Chains A and B, each alone.
With several copies, the nearest count.
Chain A
Amino acid sequence: MRYLPHTEKEIEAMLAVTGHGQLEELFAHIPEDCRYQGDMKLPEPLSEWALSDHFQSLAANNYSTSAKAVLLGAGSYSHYIPEMVPSLIQRSEFLTAYTPYQPEMAQGTLQGIFEYQTLTARLLGMEVANASMYDGASALAEALLMALRIAHKKHTVAISSAIHPYYREVVHTYLQAGIFNIIELPVAENGRTDLAGLKEIDDLAAVALQSPNFFGVIEDLETASREIHAAEALFITCFTEPFAYGLLRSPGISGADIVCGEGQSFGMPQSSGGPGLGMFACLKKHQRNIPGRVAGETVDIEGKRGYVLTLSTREQHIRREKATSNICSNQGICTLTAAAYMASLGATGLRRVAKLNYDKAAYLKNGLVQAGAKLLFSGPTFNEFVLTFADDFKPVRQRLLDKGIIAGLELSRFYKEYEKAYLFCVTETVARTVLDEVIEEVRS
């Protein structure tokens, strides 16, 4: 086997040193009743080529292999990835390194993470950022836990029902063992979170909104910030589509205390939802409460600028059960990918691609409305929006499916109250011809 370098002779020579007659003897001290019985039931080994064939046939069973367009977002977005990004970040010095515990041997990773943190903070209008969480959902859960730590006497958090349903599920999972209350805030007519009930809530540590929210609607974060801070709660915002901040005012400038979300849009393939990137940023005053790893700037003994993992007293290596989080392995290489992607875009590129997302989504939205669909919510949107259809949309959707187009997500899968409503997403990757095809199919 090509991954196992030992020749029979070498094994013999080594066993002679360790004082064993054969390999099995190395395990002689393992009690018989712990032993694996017989052989593991696994398929016979495949050669590289048989494996490739197997993957080809697996891929052929996925719709995406032949799809023309998947007009779905809802937390996973199809964006163009410049070939340069993977070819750089997959350089094995990055890819096959461990967590940078020995900074002298890992300045590439460390400077890369520091740059990621900086670009993330700039994107989100925040002062500091960490070196990533698992994904947007767990980042939100950890943000709420962090807020509860900061407001350590309070036990209640409120989260908008317009936050991605799966993110809310993860929040419930993470917080289930604690003595915390989670209140879900209702959605208003315009698709924004209704904050009217906030005043009624006691013991409120934090309020979390998503913007653009699950319905694609852009929340009025500045107004929300005022109301939430007035309720003496921390203001957490999350996101699933960071491209929006190429156009929108950043959550930080709008008054958020902690901002988190999913960074998959920045250079990661959708890959059935992972690996993505939990982005996490906050105000500097909270930096010692941040979960997960952070890289920081320092100097070496000759005074040269360099980077190390720092503030490790928050982490479980040192603090064990008192750590700010249990996260250890995070999304390392994805941070470098996102940084390289943000660097490739630059300020100018981010703005232009964001605008193009807006333009294309607006084109479909307006086209479908003209073709008879109705907007479920009146609030402004970025590259996602919800439409309802008077007639049954299902046969239309099936016809489009047959043509290689997935036309939106059935909202009732997540919200029983919204029948006949579909969440659409249009990014820069969808050609106008596809959008015209969808509009035409709806019209006819």
Chain B
Amino acid sequence: MTHGPGISGLIMEEPLLWEKGKQGRTAFSMPDQDVPEATVEIDKNLLGDGPDFPDLSEVDVVRHYTRLSGWNFGIDTGMYPLGSCTMKYNPKINEKMAATPGIATSHPLLADELSQGTLQIMFELQTFLASLTGMDAVSLQPAAGAQGEMAGMLMFAAWFRKKGEKRTKILIPDTAHGTNPASAALCGFKPVLLQSGSDGTLDAKSVAELMDEETVGIMLTNPNTLGLFEQSIREITAIVHERGGLVYGDGANMNAVMGIVDFKRCGIDIMHLNLHKTFSTPHGGGGPGAGPICVVDELADFLPIPRVIKSGDKYHLQYDCPDSIGRLHAFFGNYGVLVKAYSYILSMGAENLQKASQLAVLNANYIRESLRDVLHLAYDKPCMHECVFSDKKQQEYKITTLDMAKRLIDHGYHPPTIYFPLVVPGAIMIEPTETENKDDLDQFIDVFKDIIQEARENGELLRQAPTRTKLRRLDETQAARKPCLTG
């Protein structure tokens, strides 16, 4: 039986921070009190006793987080084929660059002439992203993909407001990421569900049926969240444009098509990119991300402020944009994340980025071909950066997607994305990314096959999984029914 890298070993238990500590201990190096102690000239009733934080020593804190880290799994630990998430390797040098003194220490409110380095990075990144997507103008404000979507939706609204049109609906495919309808709703649009066809992609006809004068347009993802390229994209965008609508593109899956697809040519008007996916900035256990939006010229005036412009050899922040939807972030978005993506793009160059997309797609197709005999393939079409299976074939053994996912953990793999997209019941969405090599993919495939065999022969192994982890399956129902959010 093939075995993944997962084995059992010694790790350390560790209590909650406030279950340690003793009053009077300290882990902070006290700065010099080089000014006299001032008497506090604040009303007594405005003053407090300070929070009930535990007092710890430096080694207490160090052991705490060192031990906690041992219960976690990151890309550096092993393969993390989480579909729709693009968990590629995060280069160490990017971290170092973002921490460059002078870059990491810069204050956001300095005058432009005092932060030319900061602004140059932003300006060049804007240019790079425009070139990568084929679009015309870029704003780096959005702090994540969802905020990019929101910016896009606000721009839709502003566009129609300016045109004096009142439209309230928006078409969103059933395969869309949940943030799409949520962002649209936040901006006052009513999502209209667009059913994807039986082949997993959109049918221009259904768009034609639904796209009307009350509809601002469409919000679609290409390649979509099934890992499929929307082949009717040109027809769809043409229909929407014909009827006065706009097209929003969710570019979270850009990793499949760098240097391969031109989104402007596809007819996209606004799109966001997830720098924390395609451009290798680490996910940090949930964030921070960055979700810049790229638009065609016609929409540039509506972009959030500020953008960076260059005049002569100087860089400036541009605030004077009367049509702008305004500001999304207190300053320039997650600037440090932008720096890492900038560093990555400079390290890769055009050729390597295109190669990365090719290899990401190769890896996904390789897994698709290698597992299609044992797992039900949701759509039998060439896939892009990810492939979607389901647990259909395992149902007769009463084994679910969840069981297989949890068993992968014991073997040392992070499970794929499961039960998403919703259109595929029991979905198993695998996105290997380009940074996994063939040997590691082969081992993963073999282990997955073995798990499927176990499903037939010894299903309990799967239902009980994981068993090697510090904790077994957790009771999510109790957590939600009696929420305990603080200790």
Contact = CB atoms under 8 A, between A and B. Distances in A.
Does chain A touch chain B in the assembled complex, meaning CB atoms less than 8 Å apart?
Answer: yes
A5 B60 contact: yes
B62 A14 contact: no
Contact of A328 (B102, B178, B327, B350): B178
Contacts of B282: 95-96, 333
B150 to A, nearest CB: 6
A308 B85 CA distance: 19
A297 interface: yes
B73 to A, nearest CB: 4
Interface stretch (B26-34, B207-215, B393-401, B450-458): B26-34
Contacts of A95: 74, 90, 95, 282, 284-285
Say which size band chain A's interface belongs to.
35 or more
A27 B369 CA distance: 16
B276 A43 contact: no
A244 to B, nearest CB: 10
Top 10 nearest A-B pairs (CB, nearest first) are: A273-B331, A332-B286, A333-B284, A65-B102, A273-B108, A59-B102, A45-B349, A96-B74, A108-B72, A316-B178
A98 B80 contact: yes
A222 interface: yes
Contacts of B486: 114, 117-118, 121-122, 127-129
Given A58-B117, A115-B17, A173-B327, 7 more contacts: A47-B32, A61-B116, A96-B75, A118-B16, A134-B329, A329-B145, A329-B288
Interface in B40-86: 40-43, 45-48, 50-62, 64-66, 68-77, 80, 82, 85
A10 interface: yes
Interface in A1-46: 1-11, 13-15, 17-20, 23-24, 26-31, 33-37, 39-46
B96 A83 contact: yes
A122 to B, nearest CB: 4
B409 A34 contact: no
B31 A80 contact: yes
Given A249-B45, A274-B334, A329 B69 contact: no
B480 to A, nearest CB: 5
Contact of B35 (A220, A296, A319, A359): A359
A322 B182 CA distance: 7
29 contacts: A2-B28, A3-B89, A26-B362, A45-B349, A48-B347, A51-B343, A61-B116, A61-B117, A62-B114, A64-B105, A65-B105, A74-B109, A84-B27, A98-B286, A111-B68, A125-B48, A177-B186, A245-B51, A248-B46, A262-B330, A275-B288, A308-B476, A323-B178, A332-B285, A332-B288, A334-B287, A340-B61, A355-B40, A359-B38
**Interface range on chain B: under 10, 10 to 19, 20 to 34, or 35 or more?**
35 or more
Contacts of B99: 86, 269
Contacts of A46: 346-347, 349
A354 B32 CA distance: 13
A316 B17 CA distance: 31
Contact of A105 (B10, B24, B345): B10
A340 B101 CA distance: 22
Contacts of A253: 48
A326 B146 contact: yes
A301 B475 contact: yes
A104 B40 contact: no
B149 interface: yes
A117 B484 CA distance: 11
Interface in A350-367: 350-356, 358-360, 362-363
Contact of B42 (A218, A327, A428): A218
B435 interface: yes
Interface in A303-352: 304, 306-308, 310-313, 315-323, 325-336, 339-340, 342-352
Nearest to A219: B46
B310 interface: no
Contact of B358 (A23, A33, A306): A23
B251 interface: no
A247 B40 CA distance: 9
Interface in A77-105: 78, 80, 82-84, 86-105
Nearest to B413: A105
Interface stretch (B239-247, B256-264, B293-301): B256-264
B349 A44 contact: yes
B108 A329 contact: no
B121 interface: yes
Contacts of A107: 68, 71-72, 469-471
Given A328-B146, A348-B24, A92 B107 contact: no
B333 A274 contact: yes
Contacts of B231: 29-31
A333 B485 CA distance: 18
A106 to B, nearest CB: 6
Given A4-B352, A296-B484, A301-B475, A272 B332 contact: yes
A155 interface: no
A31 B234 contact: yes
Interface string A348-392: 111111111011101100000000000000001000000000000
A343 B16 CA distance: 11
Contacts of B198: none
A407 B219 CA distance: 47
B468 to A, nearest CB: 9
B99 to A, nearest CB: 7
A20 B363 CA distance: 13
